[in-house]
Each structure stands twice: as structure tokens, then as C-alpha cells.
Amino acid sequence: MSLAGPASDPPSVAAARLLQIIEARFGDGLKAVRAPGARGPGPDAETLRIAYLELLKLSLCDLVGTRSGSVTRTFEGDVMSRELEGDQLRFRTAGMDWPLHGLTMVGLARLDDLQACVEAIAGEGIEGDLIEAGSWRGGASILMRATLSALGDRERVVWVADSFQGFPRAAEPEGDGYDLDADLAACDFLAVPLHEVRDSFTRLGLDHGVRFVPGFFEQTLPALSGHRWSLLRLDGDTYDATRLSLEVLYPGLSAGGYVILDDYLQIDPCRAAVDDFRREHGITEPIEPIDWSGARWRRECEPPPSEAHTVSVEAPPEAVERRPPSRVPAIEEVELRHELEQIRARLAAAEGQIERLTSSPLNGPRAWLRSRARRMRRGGA
């Protein structure tokens, strides 16, 4: 998310304005969020399972404590963090911000729905593995693996597909308008290395039954064509990433399997890719909204044996050269730098004025006379 307002605004002012804009635009989504809480454990296995998964979801969103770090971007593309507390935690619960430490940015409603979908395919015996195409820090995939394991389903594999180096370099944009591909490619914060994601699975005891698919989708997903799936969770944001994911993965989706689209209701290129694919392939199953951003549909008919096919890619994507990972500065630090730059600019201007006045003995009196004349014209004495 980028700061809103003039570039000259202090970062704290711009950050507060951004929250106001989000609330104005997605107010209904904020009103619909549930309170960030979990049920307590009980003596029976089912109650323990539910309590474990609810606590896990809070942990993945970094909502266990009363405060949570949130990340936003400056106009120059740099990131900074601030604390959310009290009523501001609604933005995290709704999945409307970038967590500083959380492992997912999708919010509780989409995690709740994802858990329900996994429970449905496991309970109904829908054939196939599960895959997330676009995982960031891996939180949604962690929940899928945890839900399966808590149900005793250790046969299915959760596939985690991501570049693990951020979005690829975007083509030169046409015109001067906003370009989603270029904006996402420029953000180093979205590039999470594979070892960090893998370590999160291991730290939570969920490193079994997981396969990682590192690389840009154009280079990796075609190799998965023909695989059988019970759930596709697509979070590629852009038109090309979403369309390629559907072209390669949907032919292997079993009847009763789910297609979950993280950004269908919020990102226009994602929605266009889905609508184009569904229209061209005659898909009529209804798309159901999950929250203000996510949506899904459930496949009703088994895919024909001949439906699986390969997808040709014209040119491989190019990786963006990333800066080494570093600590995200707090908004107070950025604001101090902002104020320091303004002080330095005023100091430089004053030094320039002093140099001009001292370079000639007459410059000082002339400047004083000009200033005196201006005050007199304004009615001063």
C-alpha cells in the first residue's frame, strides 16, 4: 500500500490519510470483520482441533497481541512501519494492510473460508493435492497443511509455488497511468526468500507433506500440468500470473474442488483474467464472494481426460535486482529523516543568502532596503 497525499506531507499525516481512504472505500468490508479471537481448548479432540487452528490463524496474522506492526510505502517506493492498536486492528483482521511480522496478509475471513474449504474436500474425499500459486510468506499454505494434519490427512501434499524473489521485471508501461505490474515489481518487501518460508513451516511443525515450487510461474507451473488437484488458491495479483495459473492448473481440478481467488473483487487485472478464462472455457459455476477482496467457485463436473494440456510461454520473465534484506524503519524514523531533510534545505538556503550578502559590502544594505520597502508597501512602518 502506498501513502496517500502530497509528497511533502509528513509520513504520519500521509499514513493516517491512507487508513481514512481505505475505510471510506472498503467500509462495508471493515464492518463485516469478526473480532480477532479464538475459542478455548476443551477435553475432546474436536474442540482441541478447532482451538489449535483458530489460535494458528491469529498467529499467522500477528493478531495474538494487542498491537501489530503494519507496513506501508512512501511515494519513492521505500517501506516503513507503524503500530496498529485498538480499533485500527480491524484493518489487519480484514486483510487490508501489509503485516510487518505476520505470515499472511489475507485476513481472518479468507483464512476461515480456506479452512472450511480444506475441511470440505477432506471430509468428502475429493481427490487431489492442494496448491497455492503466490504464497508471499506462506501463511495460507501453512493453514492448509495444518488443517489437513489436524484432520489426520497426511497423504495429500500442499504445493507452495512462488518466485520467492518478488514480482518479475515489468514491461514498459503504455501511457502515464498507473501500472500494477511495474508497481509490484518495484517493491522489495514482497520478495520473501524460500529459506524464510521453509523455516516458518518447520518452526510450526508442518514441514511434512509440503513441496515448494520456486521460480516464476512461466518457468515452473507448466511442469505441473496434468497433476490432480482438489484446491487451487491463486494469489498472483496480475493478469498474466492469474491467467497462466488457471490455464495450467484448472484442467486437473477434481469435481468438488475449489478455485480460490484472493484478489478477484479488488484487483481489476485479476478479475479480468478470471472472467476471460471462464468465458473462453464455458465455465458457469457461480463465483461466490468471501469478503471485500476474495472469491471462489467450486467445480461441479469432472474434467475430461483430454483437458490437461501444456502452455507455451513466449519469453522467460526477468528477475529484478533486489537490495539485501534489511529492517523496515519505523514511521517515526522516517518522519525524523523527513524533518532533518527540511532543516538541511533551510540551512542551505540561509547559508547561500549569507554568502551572497558577505560577497559584497553593498549587498547587505541593499537587501535591507528592499525588505524595508516591501514592509512599507504592505503598510508596515
Q: What is the pLDDT of residues 92-121, one digit of tens each?
A: 999 999 999 999 999 999 999 999 999 999
pLDDT of residue 374: 76
Residue 295 has pLDDT above 50, yes or no: yes
Q: Distance (Å, rounded) from C-alpha 127 to C-alpha 159?
A: 15
The pLDDT mean for the chain works out to: 87
Please indicate whether residue 267 or residue 167 has the higher confidence score (pLDDT): 267
Residues 6+ apart with CB under 8 A from 292: 26, 28, 29, 32, 94, 96, 265, 266
Residue pointed to by grid coordinates 543568502:
353
What value does the mean pLDDT take over residues 137-164?
A: 97
- Report the percent of the chain where pLDDT is more than 90: 59
| Alpha-helical regions (H) of 297-330 | none
Residue 167 has pLDDT above 90, yes or no: no
Q: Distance (Å, rounded) from C-alpha 133 to C-alpha 345?
A: 47
pLDDT tens digits for range 49-78: 999 999 999 999 999 999 999 998 766 667
Residue 40 has pLDDT above 50, yes or no: yes
Q: For residue 312, what pLDDT band results from cuts at 50, 70 and 90?
A: low
pLDDT of residue 340: 86
pLDDT tens digits for range 253-287: 999 999 999 999 999 999 999 999 999 999 999 99
Q: Distance (Å, rounded) from C-alpha 37 to C-alpha 55?
A: 8
pLDDT of residue 5: 47
Would you call 55 helix, strand, or coil by DSSP?
helix
Residue 310 has pLDDT above 70, yes or no: no
Residues 6+ apart with CB under 8 A from 322: 165, 166, 188, 191
Backbone angles phi, psi at 209, to 5 degrees: 65, 35
Please indicate whether residue 327 or residue 119 has the higher confidence score (pLDDT): 119
Q: Distance (Å, rounded) from C-alpha 19 to C-alpha 30?
A: 11
pLDDT tens digits for range 352-363: 777 776 766 656
Residue 12 has pLDDT above 70, yes or no: no
Residue 148 has pLDDT above 70, yes or no: yes
Q: Distance (Å, rounded) from C-alpha 113 to C-alpha 122?
A: 14
Q: Distance (Å, rounded) from C-alpha 297 to C-alpha 285?
A: 6
Q: In what order do the strands lie in the sheet with 79-85?
A: 79-85, 67-73, 98-99
